[in-house]
Structure formats: C-alpha cells, structure tokens
Amino acid sequence: QVEFVESGGGLVQSGESLRLSCEASKQFFSIATMAWYRQVPGKQREFVAVMASRGPTNYDESVKGRFTISGDYTASTVALQMNNLKPDDTAVYYCNVDGWITDDAGRRTHWGKGTLVAVSS
C-alpha cells in the first residue's frame, strides 16, 4: 500500500502563486505518468496537467501558460507550480500517479488525499 502526502495549498489573492507538492510514502518500481486533477464541491474531478515518462507533458487549456508540472520519477514526487492564480482555480487539488509499486505488481492508479487551493478576487 502506498500513500501520498500533498502540501502547498492555501488561501491566496488573485494573481498570486502557489506551489503544490506530492510525495509518495514509498518509491515506485516504475512510473508511467504523474498528474494533477482538481475538484470543486458538487462537480466532477477534472484534469489539470500530466507528465509521462515516455511522452509529452500536457495541460488543460484553462491553465496553459500559468501552471507548470514537474516531478522526479526516481523519488516518486510530483509538483505543480501555479502562477497568476484566478478565482476559477479554487478547488481541491489531487495528485495522481500511475505505475508499478513493485516489479511483480500490476499497474495501478494512485490518488493523493487532496489539498485545498482557494483564490479570492
């Protein structure tokens, strides 16, 4: 079993920045993708950004140019730098890691518990 510790959320004003971090409780054997999603209460969880060990980095159109995903596949950590935050960015942000815990385990998707980002106008 692996757990994730997310940090960096908080309350900021429009235009300010935050950096979210997500660290796994144990090192993965191999990671396919690391991503961030967000969810507003009462709405579906939505995609924010993804980085792939063998593919491109992608962002939702609403955050392109403002957010940057980065990570360390060996350390099993992923971060999200969020600049020029807007009130519409207010949500609970979840990290997502898709990979193999051990060399004989199946590929699974893992979620963090979420960290709240609130942006006031």
pLDDT digits (tens, 9 = 90+) for 59-88: 999 999 999 999 999 999 999 999 999 999
Rg (CA), the chain: 14
What is the signed CA dihedral for 69, 71, 77, 80, rounded to 10 degrees? Answer: -20
Report the pLDDT value the prediction gives residue 79, as an integer from 0 to 100: 98
Q: Residue 105: its pLDDT value, please?
A: 85
User: Shortest CA distance to 78 belongs to which of 87, 86, 69?
Assistant: 69
pLDDT for 6-28, tens place per residue? 999 999 999 999 999 999 998 99
104's CB contacts (< 8 A; 6+ apart) are none
Average pLDDT, the chain: 95
pLDDT(31) > 90: yes
Alpha-carbon distances of 83 from 16, 21, 43, 68, rounded to whole Å: 6, 15, 23, 9
Express each pLDDT in 93-112 by its tens digit. Answer: 999 999 999 888 899 999 99
Quote the CA–CA distance of 26 and 3 in Å, as a whole number. Answer: 8
Q: Which two tokens stand for residue 101?
A: 């815990």
Per-residue model confidence (pLDDT) at position 1: 81
